[in-house]
Structure 1
Amino acid sequence: MDFLSGNVNIDAGSQHLCESVFVRLCQIVGTSVQVAIRRETADIREMVRRRVADNDDVIEMESGSIREGFRLKGSDIDYMNWPNNHRVIWDMSQSEHYYTENKTLILSESSESPPGFTLLELLTPPTKRKVQSACVLMNDRLYISSSLYKQRSQTHLFPGSITHGPCESGELPGGLEYDIADSFACDFWPLSASYWINRCHFWPDRQVVNEIVRNGCHFVPIGHPLGFHEHEEWRISFSLAEHKLVHSMNHCQFLTYGLLKIFLKEVIDKQSDETNKLLCSYHMKTVIFWVIQHNAVPLWSPQNLLASFWVCFKLLLKWVYEGVCPNFFIPENNLFLSKVHGSAQKKMFLELHGLYEKGLACLLQSPSIKSYITNVLYNPRLSICTNEDRMISECDHDKELFNEIYGNTSHFPKNLDHCIKYLHTIELMMGEPLTQYQVIMLQKTTAIILQSTAFTLHNMYTNTGLNKQMYIADRMSCHMLKLAAKFGCISDMMYIAMFYCKTFRFREALYITEMIKVKLAQPGLMYQKHVDPERYTEAVGGQSWSTKMREALAHDIGFNVHTCYINELRPEQQSASLLQIPLFVLLHFVEFLCYRHIDTTLAQTALEELQVLVHHDQGLYVPEIFRDISWEILGICQQMTGNFQAALYSYQQSLTQFQSNKIQNVTLMRIQDLHIT
């Protein structure tokens, strides 16, 4: 039974329909400009992190749909971590590329494993304790057990996290799910995927192929359920290669991939409870990879969008009928082997075939797409503009850019040497060919590093008794913070205020907070994602992104936990792996700390404003994910004024919030210090 035969008849009306769906997908998935912003800002973050990483660091790489450029509702955040001082090799000859004094070598042994899976033999002594503790002896050789390593790697990053496949998974406030996989890196392309290189005739182009091969692969801790060594085996991960492939798609191909993901979630998964977990978005990705590479769609365009989707759907139907979904890199690895078989496979096929028989009308079952199809059917003369430049306003474009920049500038140098390494890396990158989005991203990154450097330098010379060095360090720190404010946005001025507060220049700090409040009160302000588009455009429309960032943008404040910004928050910084504080909470906090030394009445006013904000804000200025630290700061202020009952209530409220900042132990310590029975 050949489901790939036959063509979808695309007439003029159908082209109109395709254009309507194209517009809708640009709204849901993003225009090519929005997708480019998401990818290119993330590229800069990863380039900076990789270049400053020390040998004993853990490398973090974002993967999955977010990294690919999607921002679909329900998309999860995926991360892969691996120790920088461990490397997997495929044969012993590759060991000559490493200095084994500072690299632990691991040998892949796949002779007894199913395609796409392998055992990892430890060749040299590990430097990570969890690697050593995950080793098992087999045939007089030490192998790293995937199941044991996964157990040792569980950090329970947030409350309620569970093990899911090779990952630690959980959910953040707002329903955002995350997956974190601890892995090992390999700098070499696997021999079992070598045929893929020769298969790339039409797509991807040779430059992309060479880059993919040059970057190697990874190994994630999960074995094949039908393998001989399920608990010891590791799966070969092509995550890095996959996002390179997705990035090499044209926008119509990417939108078709997005439509497949939407179709899976809103149509296929709604057919029955028995089959709604059999297929996943990875299968959709595999489908479109094969369709593009086999040149099954001669022309990817807005007018051909639905025909492209239909070719992909027919291939998926064929795979379910045969019970075989070939991995794109290692086709012998059947992704359906342990899930899509038996009665479940038959039921899944019947459901998909029922959708197939309806033709493109099956898309009417998708709530996200339905109205855009019916609008065209009922209004065949409807004018549709597929010009992407007209789909997104200047304000929305800026909001996308600044939101991505904010989410990708979490860099936290550990010490002064690390700060200098960051600055040197940024200096070198400025001389490289960068896109316009990457330039502004690097500019904001520079501001973040200058702020960390300023406080790190100050803390090094505090209480040393070396007055001249303290004076020089102070001047340098002030200069760096003022420079960072010119590179950054309104909220970056808070670092100057915190520095003045920390160095007992309270009036200077209050002068800065007043300046910040004036800027935050302007009607064209863009705070996080909150903005009045008309007033924003009226205030800064047509100006450079640097000017817009400096004059109209504000966001919440991230603290580098390796250096102290506010003495009163030192315990929280020492406890947290990441400390994020809402801007308006921090503003009132700094005002309270400064006014305590100048005017107790105004200090009480600042405290009351903070209390109203924390008690009554509905998520506008105090996001749910940062409410733990917000209640904590309110409690600290109340405790400092001697109002211990109010402080106790605030600390208790902090404990009931989602612990995104992981400060609960410090909160409990502060409650004990109140001595209230």
Structure 2
Amino acid sequence: MSDQGELYEDSWILYRVLDRMMGNREMVAVSRKLILVRDKTSAHTFLQWRISFATAERKLIHSLSHAQVLVYCLLKYLLKQISGKLKQIYGDTDILSSYIIKTTILHAVENTPLSLWEEKNTFLCFMLCLNILATWVKAGYCPNYIINRNNMFLGKVHGEHQQKLLRLLVELRDMTWGCLSIGTFFQPSIGEYIQRVKNGAWELVLPTPAQSEREIDFTIFEQSFLLFCATDVLPALKLLSKSKSDMDECVAYFNTVSALSFKWMEVFEKQAPLEGNKQKYKSLRKCKKFISPLAVTCTSPGLLTLATYHYQTGNYMNTLETCGYLISSWKVFSGNISEKDRDRYEHLYCGRGYSLLHKFQQAFIFDMVFTETSSYFCPVNLQQELTNVGSSKLIIPPLPYAVFLTFLCYHELNDTRRRDAALKDLRAVKYDTNQGGSKYWIVHNLLGICYEMVGDIHMALREYKNSLSGEKLFHYNNPAMERIERLEY
């Protein structure tokens, strides 16, 4: 391989190593630490005021491309690695500050073409910035990015210190790749990571087969939820009949059963005006047949939709059993997937030969969705919320909805002890990171409705008011103000 080819390969490895290390908390902390520099040449610093460009600089840093951010972090990484040597030589690590590193990357980006900042040029861009820094030290002049005539080396880099710092930077530059192997702040060093990869440890920079499977699964499942509102069964069945791959079958099957579930909701509405118990019973049995395939496919909305059916038909024990399963089991909520959930999903389901449909059934949950066409099916307690969304959709995260249904069942059974326990659980769910009230206004409304049902008007009002505060999803459909006015007047 040519020298240029080796440079590109090593830069690619460096790029991947940096990309993976960005997940390291210490590296992230280092990349975000921005230090302001005082004018140490003045004898009256306590009387001085300084104009801050922190907001502008923050926007500039946020505008950097991914490749540019990685080079910026690499420069700060090097600064941390040589901090011990700087302190040993100068007695002060602040001779090169984080702010100067930021200034270096901003000047480098402005004065070079964007095409230079590519993955294959990662190390080249790093060396460019190192050369800029060495040139500034040699001249004893580091121009502030906003105000160029402001020399940030003034009072710091001069005389013997200037010469020592220049020798250190030239030494680092001449070491080329070797400069990434010095220092002990991060162990192992980036240089050691690169050497390990070149020796065959590709798992350090490439995802494992299980990780690749995990990311593909998440992409498919998250996009599949968009199909839940499909209402035409025939195209879905046609797609299912032509499916060939595992992915085709999973997506087509979910599309089909979700379309059937909407048809079932229409049938449920039609049974309401029927006369005679026999006619209603037949209609309800037909409804259950329509929803069963979706219930087998996923816990939410599938099983939760079946639980709602049981609640609406007075079968509270089946409702409680279904909701209890969702509340007590671990599932991946598609609304916001944490890294911990990703790792656990990978451990439990990836690399084991499971089909996509099996993993879909076992691991994933989605929001519950009600539309104006399902007004008879939606619990009567939520009719005001459903009316407000109009032609849109009422979206409820699955965990709060399952606890809410549990509360309703115990209320109907006159089991006040378990009802109050369910209310306590719903209060706890309100603080859930992914499905709680900080993101979904409906969670506060669910709590408010429960408080109204137990006669605690004060707490109900507080929840409705909390429902209106902050930035929450689909806040414009929130009927909390109408509920507040009704309780207050």
Q: Does the TM-score normalized on the shorter chain lie above 0.5?
A: yes
Higher share of residues assigned strand? 1
Q: Give the equivalent residue in structure 2 for 1:262.
A: 66
Q: Give the equivalent residue in structure 2 for 1:574.
A: 387
The offset of 1:673, in angstroms, is 1.4
Alignment pair present for 1:655 and 2:459: no
1:239-291 superposed Cα distances (whole Å, 9 cap, x missing partner): xxxxxxxxxxxxxxxxxxxxx941366779x7799999999xxx98xx79xxx
Alignment pair present for 1:483 and 2:483: no
Q: 1:384 to 1:372 in 2, by over 3 A?
A: farther
1:459–1:563 CA contact under 8 A, matched in 2:
yes
Partner Cα distance (1:611, 1:378) in 2: 47
Partner Cα distance (1:373, 1:558) in 2: 49
Alignment pair present for 1:667 and 2:474: no
Please state whether the residue corresponding to 2:225 is helix, strand or coil: coil
1:447–1:488 CA contact under 8 A, matched in 2:
no
Alignment pair present for 1:642 and 2:455: yes
Which segments of 5 or more consecutive residues in structure 2 lack a partner in the other structure?
24-63, 73-101, 126-147, 149-172, 180-185
Q: 1:623 to 1:16 in 2, by over 3 A?
A: farther
Please state whether the residue corresponding to 1:624 is helix, strand or coil: coil
Q: Give the equivalent residue in structure 1 for 2:317.
A: 507
The equivalences for 1:187-266 within 5 A come to: 261-263=65-67
Partner Cα distance (1:274, 1:388) in 2: 30
1:19–1:384 CA contact under 8 A, matched in 2:
no
Q: Give the equivalent residue in structure 1 for 2:6.
A: 12
The offset of 1:587, in angstroms, is 0.9
1:575–1:663 CA contact under 8 A, matched in 2:
no
Q: Give the equivalent residue in structure 1 for 2:246.
A: 436
The offset of 1:635, in angstroms, is 0.3
Partner Cα distance (1:589, 1:575) in 2: 20
Q: Give the equivalent residue in structure 2 for 1:296.
A: none
Q: Give the equivalent residue in structure 1 for 2:438.
A: 624
Letter in 2 for 1:557: M
Q: Name which of 15, 18, 28 aligns with 1:21.
A: 15
Q: Give the equivalent residue in structure 2 for 1:446.
A: 256
Which segments of 5 or more consecutive residues in structure 1 lack a partner in the other structure?
1-7, 30-259, 289-303, 312-346, 348-357, 365-370
Please state whether the residue corresponding to 2:421 is helix, strand or coil: helix
The equivalences for 1:3-402 within 5 A come to: 10-12=4-6, 14-22=8-16, 261-263=65-67, 306=120, 375-376=190-191, 380=195, 382=197, 383-386=199-202, 391-392=207-208, 394=210, 397-398=213-214, 401-402=217-218
2:301–2:369 CA contact under 8 A, matched in 1:
no
Larger radius of gyration: 2
Partner Cα distance (1:263, 1:659) in 2: 33
Partner Cα distance (1:459, 1:551) in 2: 30
The offset of 1:21, in angstroms, is 2.2
Partner Cα distance (1:396, 1:405) in 2: 14
Q: Give the equivalent residue in structure 1 for 2:365.
A: 554
The offset of 1:23, in angstroms, is 5.9
Partner Cα distance (1:386, 1:623) in 2: 43
1:591–1:606 CA contact under 8 A, matched in 2:
yes
The offset of 1:585, in angstroms, is 0.7
Partner Cα distance (2:12, 2:485) in 1: 64
Letter in 1 for 2:67: F
Q: Report percent identity of matched pairs.
A: 16
The offset of 1:457, in angstroms, is 2.0
2:468–2:475 CA contact under 8 A, matched in 1:
no
Q: Give the equivalent residue in structure 2 for 1:405.
A: 221
Please state whether the residue corresponding to 1:625 is helix, strand or coil: coil
Q: Give the equivalent residue in structure 2 for 1:604.
A: 420
Please state whether the residue corresponding to 2:436 is helix, strand or coil: coil
TM-score, with structure 1 as normaliser: 0.44
Q: Give the equivalent residue in structure 1 for 2:166.
A: none
Letter in 2 for 1:452: F
Q: 1:310 to 1:559 in 2, by over 3 A?
A: farther
Q: Give the equivalent residue in structure 1 for 2:399.
A: 584
TM-score, with structure 2 as normaliser: 0.59
Q: Give the equivalent residue in structure 2 for 1:118.
A: none
1:298-349 superposed Cα distances (whole Å, 9 cap, x missing partner): xxxxxx96169999xxxxxxxxxxxxxxxxxxxxxxxxxxxxxxxxxxx9xx
2:17–2:205 CA contact under 8 A, matched in 1:
no
Please state whether the residue corresponding to 1:430 is helix, strand or coil: helix
Q: 1:595 to 1:426 in 2, by over 3 A?
A: same
Alignment pair present for 1:516 and 2:326: yes
Q: 1:25 to 1:532 in 2, by over 3 A?
A: closer
Which protein, 1 or 2, shows the higher relative CO under an 8 Å CA cutoff with sep ≥ 6? 1
The offset of 1:581, in angstroms, is 1.7
Letter in 2 for 1:649: R
The offset of 1:647, in angstroms, is 0.3
Higher share of residues assigned helix? 2
Please state whether the residue corresponding to 2:369 is helix, strand or coil: strand
1:99-154 superposed Cα distances (whole Å, 9 cap, x missing partner): xxxxxxxxxxxxxxxxxxxxxxxxxxxxxxxxxxxxxxxxxxxxxxxxxxxxxxxx
The offset of 1:630, in angstroms, is 0.5
Partner Cα distance (1:412, 1:555) in 2: 10
Partner Cα distance (1:388, 1:578) in 2: 44
The offset of 1:557, in angstroms, is 2.6
2:11–2:119 CA contact under 8 A, matched in 1:
no
Partner Cα distance (2:12, 2:444) in 1: 51
Partner Cα distance (1:378, 1:276) in 2: 26
Q: 1:402 to 1:390 in 2, by over 3 A?
A: same
Partner Cα distance (1:309, 1:460) in 2: 68
Please state whether the residue corresponding to 2:439 is helix, strand or coil: helix
Partner Cα distance (1:265, 1:379) in 2: 19
The offset of 1:393, in angstroms, is 5.7
Letter in 1 for 2:318: E
The offset of 1:555, in angstroms, is 3.8
The offset of 1:552, in angstroms, is 3.3
Query: Which has the higher mean CA deviation after the structures are superposed, 375-384 or 629-638?
Result: 375-384
Please state whether the residue corresponding to 1:531 is helix, strand or coil: helix
Partner Cα distance (1:581, 1:278) in 2: 47
The offset of 1:377, in angstroms, is 7.7
Partner Cα distance (1:572, 1:589) in 2: 15
Q: 1:22 to 1:483 in 2, by over 3 A?
A: same
Letter in 1 for 2:222: Y
Partner Cα distance (2:419, 2:455) in 1: 13
Letter in 1 for 2:399: F
Please state whether the residue corresponding to 1:596 is helix, strand or coil: helix
How many pairs were matched up? 357
1:631–1:651 CA contact under 8 A, matched in 2:
yes
